[in-house]
Amino acid sequence: MVYLDNNATTPIEPAVSEKMCWFLREHFGNPSSLYPIGREVKKLITEARETVADALGAMRSEIFFTGSGTESDNFAIYGIMNAFPEKNEFITSSIEHPAVIETASYLEKRGKKITFIPVDQYGNIDLEFLKKAISPKTALISIMYSNNELGTIEPIKEVVKIAKEKEVLVHTDAVQAFGKIPCNVNKLGVDLLSLSAHKIYGPKGIGSLYIRKGTKILPLICGGHQERNLRAGTENTAGIIALGEAVQIFQAKGDKDLKRIHKLADRLKKGIEERIPRVIFNGPEKNRVKSTLSFSFTGMEADAILLALASKEIYVSTGSACSEDSEEVSHVLSSIGLKPEVARSTLRLSLGRFNNDEDVSKVLSELPEIIEKLRKISGL
Ligand SMILES: Cc1ncc(COP(=O)(O)O)c(C=O)c1O
């Protein structure tokens, strides 16, 4: 099989699943228990927290474990908006993941003012629009670091610069950036940052939110005293240990692995553009997480291509996993100005650590033929 849907989720790294199984076998204690089997688990959680903190250039006390990237986004947005009831405005972009867009819509229905910053044809947010949108009532700006459909890297440092002049907090959804581009919270200057384990070869159902020390925020989930009273519920201990391991592995692998993946992605991009006529590449050439490739194969439905590829055991996506089974056109693709019929002809190919040259060769030998056949069938 050729798996090219790493932005939807990544295969678990064997060393991560081994560590997780070891943990589940050897440690069942509740980290809140005061006796040794609880303390041991607490210690392992602390180590994982330290690993995540190191990767972000943060302090251990600034890392909070959550149940997903989605929960981290919800926690950041509700947590800040609820902590500042006197400020009722929230700013985000038009191409955020549903974890942010739907949270914004929910807030809007409950009387908050939401501003969606538009993007250009490559998915870059409009900074001038942002400057004008901020008011004394703005509590939070949330802009994703890298877009899941296009790979576009947003200018977070500039967003922070603009926000800080007006004393507004900034959150970034770094779920598609963490492990792929540097995410140092102090260099970026953000107050809050979301990440998720299953995009970095860890398990599903575990995420983290970085919250800068001193940030006023309210919990999303109330109950026990876990996560310093900000995220109640007995910890997903095995998930946390696995996240720590996944982070340690990508740090150990460093740039070399990423460069290899980027080279594969470049070869795939070039090969598709050379072999297939009337293909549109979506997203920027530069300032992109290079492993993300979005192509519109004009004149056909992407679903048909996806199924034809799947019959050859090549797995890609027609958009973000969350909008996959919806009839609606991706809000990201319509935000960059694609006509609905072009958006519907769009495939996302996202590469990862387990891809190799043979995978790229297989796609380059199968895809042009599939497109040609489908175009013939549709008479185009
Ligand atoms: C940009 C972005 N944010 C948030 C999420 C949600 O993360 P999770 O699947 O861990 O809830 C995703 C998942 O696709 C994503 O791509």
Question: Residue 320 pLDDT > 90, yes or no?
Answer: no
pLDDT > 90 fraction of the chain, expressed in percent and rounded: 95
- In this prediction, residue 327 has a pLDDT band, given cuts at 50, 70 and 90, of low
Q: Among residues 217, 249, 281, which one ends one of the domains?
A: 249
Q: What spatial distance separates the first Cα and last Cα of the chain, rounded to whole Å?
A: 30
Do 280 and 230 lie in a common domain? no
pLDDT of 319 reads 65
Residue 270 maps to which CATH number?
A: 3.90.1150.10
CA-to-CA distance for 53 and 60, rounded, in angstroms? 5
3: amino acid identity, one letter: Y
Are both 74 and 124 inside the same structural domain? yes
Residues 222 and 266 in one domain: no
Taking Cα atoms as reference points, which of 275, 267, 349 lies closest to residue 306?
A: 349
Q: Indicate if 351 and 261 belong to the same structural domain.
A: yes
168 and 206 part of one domain: yes
pLDDT mean over 363-371: 97
- Side chain identity at residue 318, one-letter code: T
State residue 328's pLDDT score. 79
Asked if residue 378 has pLDDT above 90, the reply is no
Picking from 249, 282, 307, the residue at the C-terminal end of a domain is 249
Tens digit of pLDDT for each residue in 250-305? 999 989 999 999 999 999 999 999 999 999 999 999 999 999 999 999 999 999 99
Report the candidate in 99, 65, 116 with the shortest Cα–Cα distance to residue 173. 99
How confident is the prediction for the chain on average, in pLDDT? 96
Burial group, residue 35, by CB count within 10 angstroms (0-12, 13-18, 19+):
exposed
Write the residue with the smallest CA distance to atom 13 of ligand 1: 8
Q: Which residues, judged by CB distance below 6 Å to any ligand atom, belong to the binding site of ligand 1?
A: 68-70, 73, 97, 99, 144, 148, 173, 175-176, 196, 198, 207, 320-321
Distance from the alpha carbon of residue 163 to the mean position of ligand 1, in angstroms: 24
Q: How far is the CA of 100 from the centre of ligand 1 (A)?
A: 10
Q: Which atom of ligand 1 is nearest to the CA of 9?
A: 14
Average pLDDT over residues 317-325: 59
Q: What's the token pair of residue 7?
A: 């932005």
Angle among Cα 115, 117, 122 to the nearest 5 degrees reads: 160
Cα–Cα dist 54/252, whole Å: 12
Residues 176-214 pLDDT 10s: 999 999 999 999 999 999 999 999 999 999 999 999 999
> Is 183 known to be catalytic?
no
Give the chain's domain count.
2
Q: Please check whether residues 259 and 245 belong to one and the same domain.
A: no
Task: Please tell me whether residues 70 and 106 are part of one structural domain.
Answer: yes
Asked if 272 and 222 sit in the same domain, the reply is no
CB atoms within 10 A of CB 284: 16
- Dihedral over Cα of 1, 204, 189, 150: its sign: positive
* Contact between residue 75 and residue 241 where contact means Cβ atoms under 8 Å apart: no
Question: Residue 326 — very low, low, confident or very high, per pLDDT cuts 50/70/90?
Answer: low
The CATH number assigned to the domain holding 108 equals 3.40.640.10
pLDDT digits (tens, 9 = 90+) for 7-44: 999 999 999 999 999 999 999 999 999 999 999 999 99
CA 198 to ligand 1: nearest atom:
10
The pLDDT of residue 322 is above 50: no
For residues 244 and 212, state if they share a domain: yes
Looking at beta carbons, which pairs linking 41-48 to residues 24 or more positions away fall under 8 Å?
41/237, 44/237, 44/240, 44/241, 44/244, 45/235, 45/237, 45/240, 45/241, 47/244, 48/240, 48/241, 48/243, 48/244, 48/245, 48/247
Does 213 share its domain with 286? no
Tell me the angle at which helices 14-26 and 237-275 cross, rounded to the nearest 10 degrees: 170
Q: Domain range spanning residue 115?
A: 14-249
The reply to whether 364 and 235 lie within a common domain is no
* Last residue within a domain, chosen from 214, 249, 284: 249
Look at residues 334, 322, 342 and name the one whose alpha carbon lies nearest to residue 97.
322
Q: Ligand 1 mean position to 36 CA, how many Å? A: 36
Of 173, 356, 349, the residue nearest 269 (C-alpha): 349
Examine the domain organization and report whether 275 and 344 are in the same domain: yes
Q: Three-state SS for 317? A: strand
In the chain, the DSSP E strands lie at 2-3, 63-66, 89-93, 113-117, 138-142, 169-173, 192-196, 207-211, 279-282, 292-297, 314-315, 346-350
For residues 122 and 282, give the distance between their C-alpha atoms in angstroms, rounded to a whole number: 7
